[in-house]
């Protein structure tokens, strides 16, 4: 099997396993996992292959493979876990106020973090559904304010909306371009079928190559011909139901009003039905009209450099070099048109939603700085909740001190006490997860209304994200419970049985530092929220 030399599995899972696994198993495991990784690279994306590699590595943390694991009777282990669970549950029930504050506080932090994660993931997922997305580019148009001044071209804004002749000219002059698709600006048309009339503002005149470039699945119709003939129309499933109900719309006609400057009034024949455009698309529509309709009504403008009413996207061949392509643009423009101040650039589809600065977009765009801001806010909220949990747990050290002293006096090791307190921490985290789920379901409708996004939990909780969500919950439990467990298990029996609990100065200073850090994060969040709101 050929292994791509430029792609290698991530290093951290291997280093992690080397720390925990017995040496006699490592060589065979690493070889098998590396071979499995390259198999996954051939079937899936590189990012997914790396995630699967990390997950498979973590699944190998089995007792029989771990270093220095002493096997004890299953019955004793079961009794120990049962005892720890009983004690943890009794402590939670006994201190109801403490439990409610801890569970609800941590659950609220998790819920806020997950809702922000959903928003960020949705923003980052725009246009990722296109199978050929890494080979799709679009043209942006600009004008220099002074002849041959490249700096002035950079200073002036580029437009996505531009000259129609640029598409055929690119296809003719650049062999690295496989296909070109052009479509008009958004049209506003009144469509009528029998007694049903709707003013549709989400319509584009689109080239017939659209379905060969973009991944818009057709339910009915031939992707190569549905938009070939004049006065052809392709409807999304929801639009088709709006006009025709459950009846078959193929071959039926919709009467369309005049589209200002683009087409005359006429009857459009339904030639195809497509799936609704995903919500994470940088431009969406209800229906597509054939570009040949536009060309039939206004044949002159498609040969005119200067008539601005066209978006141009193109599909490149494999091994496309964008930098080399851009270097050819000046010579190309001087051959095909006469305006020395006119210039173009190209943008990859993956950069269109979050990284573009071009104007006259066919749809909405996002903001990469906002993604960073929201991500930081989500992390801050979760960290504040974890620190709050840690401080509340260590604040109860006086109450738990005698319990620790008695357990140590009858022979309990510090490691077993640490395990017990970590177990209590994980129980609280588990209950917090349940609270977080309830909060998420309750808050999601308001989140959808506020952001205007179609956020569906199942879209974000899937086979790829579940391992990371579980790992995140375990990490939260470990982070929240490790410090209290170390502090409580470190008490001296002779002192705590007398009612004296002395923590090391370093521990006290750390707790004070955590409180200061928690308040600093809170102030930063409040100040940031006020600043953003005022802007």
pLDDT value for 478: 80
Cα–Cα distance for residue pair 10/76, rounded to 1 Å: 39
**pTM exceeding 0.85:** no
The tokens of 47 are what? 């990012």
Identify the segments of the chain with pLDDT beneath 70: 1-6, 61-81, 84, 145-156, 260-263, 395-414, 458-460, 462-464, 487-511, 532-533, 535
Residues facing residue 253 across a β-bridge: 269
Give the tens place of pLDDT for each residue, 285-309. 999 999 988 888 777 777 778 777 7
My answer on whether 298 and 405 are in the same domain is no
pLDDT number for residue 412: 61
Check whether residue 28 and residue 145 sit in a common domain.
Answer: no
pLDDT in the model for residue 505 = 42
Give the pLDDT score at 73: 47
Q: Are the beta carbons of 129 and 329 closer than 8 angstroms?
A: no
Q: Does 325 lie in the same domain as 378?
A: no
Task: Please say which residue of 30, 50, 71 terminates a domain.
Answer: 71
pLDDT score at 535: 61
Q: Do residues 12 and 115 both lie within one domain?
A: no
Show which of 331, 363, 395 is a domain's final residue: 363
**Same structural domain, 441 and 454:** yes
The upper half-sphere exposure of residue 509, i.e. CA atoms within 13 Å in the direction of its Cβ, equals 3
* Residues 79 and 202 reside in one and the same domain: no
According to the model, what pLDDT value does residue 26 have? 77
Residue range 132-162, pLDDT digits in tens: 999 999 999 988 765 544 554 455 678 888 8
Residue 366's alpha-carbon distances to 126, 128, 357, 401, 452, in angstroms, are: 9, 14, 10, 53, 13
**Residue 344: domain span:** 129-363
Same domain? For 276 and 414 the reply is no
User: Looking at the structure, do residues 219 and 324 belong to the same domain, yes or no?
Assistant: yes
Same domain, residue pair 50 and 87: no
The residues near 274 (Cβ < 8 Å, ≥ 6 apart) are: 211, 216, 217, 218, 219, 221, 234, 235, 236, 237, 288
User: How big is the CA angle at 517 (ends 515 and 521), to the nearest 5 degrees?
Assistant: 120
Q: What confidence score (pLDDT) does residue 171 get?
A: 94
Verify that 58 and 115 share a domain, yes or no. Answer: no
Question: Which residue, of 311, 334, 363, is where some domain finishes?
Answer: 363
For 454, phi and psi rounded to 5 degrees? -90, 85
Pairing of strands 196-206, 266-274: unpaired
Whether 200 and 342 share a structural domain: yes
Contact in structure between 145 and 341 (CB atoms under 8 Å): yes
391 and 351 within one domain: no
Tell me what percent of the residues of the chain surpass a pLDDT of 90.
28
Domain total of the chain: 3
Strand partners, 287: 203, 235
């Amino acid at each position: 099997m050929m292994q791509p030399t430029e792609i290698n599995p991530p290093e951290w899972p291997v280093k992690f396993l080397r720390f925990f696994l017995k040496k006699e198993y490592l060589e065979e495991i690493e070889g098998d996992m590396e071979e499995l990784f390259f198999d996954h690279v051939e079937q899936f994306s590189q990012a997914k292959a790396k995630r699967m590699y990390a997950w498979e590595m973590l699944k190998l943390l089995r007792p029989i493979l771990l270093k220095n694991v002493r096997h004890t009777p299953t019955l004793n282990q079961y009794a120990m876990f049962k005892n720890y669970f009983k004690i943890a549950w009794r402590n939670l029930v006994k201190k109801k106020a403490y439990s409610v504050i801890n569970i609800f506080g941590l659950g609220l932090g998790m819920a806020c973090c997950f809702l922000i994660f959903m928003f960020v993931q949705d923003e980052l997922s725009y246009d990722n559904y296109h199978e050929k997305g890494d080979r799709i580019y679009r043209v942006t148009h600009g004008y220099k304010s002074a002849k041959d001044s490249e700096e002035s071209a950079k200073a002036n804004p580029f437009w996505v909306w531009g000259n129609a002749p640029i598409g055929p000219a690119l296809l003719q002059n650049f062999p690295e371009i496989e296909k070109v698709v052009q479509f008009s600006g958004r049209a506003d048309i009144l469509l009528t079928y029998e007694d049903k009339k709707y003013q549709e503002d989400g319509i584009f005149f689109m080239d017939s190559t659209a379905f060969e470039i973009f991944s818009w699945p057709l339910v009915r119709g031939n992707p190569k011909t549905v938009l070939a003939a004049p006065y052809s129309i392709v409807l999304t499933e929801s639009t088709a139901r709006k006009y025709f109900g459950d009846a078959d719309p193929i071959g039926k006609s919709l009467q369309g009003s005049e589209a200002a400057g683009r087409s005359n009034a006429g009857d459009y024949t339904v030639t195809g039905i497509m799936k609704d455009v995903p919500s994470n698309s940088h431009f969406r529509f209800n229906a597509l009209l054939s570009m040949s309709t536009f060309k039939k009504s206004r044949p002159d403008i498609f040969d005119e450099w200067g008539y601005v009413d066209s978006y141009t996207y193109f599909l490149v061949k494999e091994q496309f070099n964008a930098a080399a392509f851009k270097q050819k643009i000046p010579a190309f423009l001087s051959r095909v048109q006469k305006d020395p101040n006119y210039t173009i650039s190209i943008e990859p589809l993956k950069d269109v939603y979050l990284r573009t600065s071009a104007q006259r977009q066919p749809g909405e765009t996002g903001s990469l700085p906002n993604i960073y801001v929201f991500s930081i806010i989500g992390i801050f909220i979760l960290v504040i909740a974890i620190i709050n949990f840690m401080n509340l747990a260590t604040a109860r050290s006086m109450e738990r001190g005698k319990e620790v002293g008695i357990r140590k006096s009858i022979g309990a090791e510090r490691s077993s006490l640490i395990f017990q307190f970590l177990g209590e921490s994980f129980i609280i985290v588990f209950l917090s997860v349940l609270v977080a789920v309830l909060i998420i379901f309750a808050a999601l409708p308001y989140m959808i209304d506020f952001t205007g996004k179609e956020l569906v939990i199942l879209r974000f909780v899937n086979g790829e994200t579940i391992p990371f969500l579980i790992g995140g919950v375990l990490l939260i439990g470990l982070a929240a419970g490790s410090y209290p467990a170390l502090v409580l298990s470190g008490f001296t029996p002779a002192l705590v049985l007398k009612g004296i609990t002395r923590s090391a100065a370093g521990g006290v200073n750390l707790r004070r530092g955590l409180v200061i850090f928690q308040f600093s994060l809170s102030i930063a969040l409040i100040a940031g929220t006020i600043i953003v709101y005022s802007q």
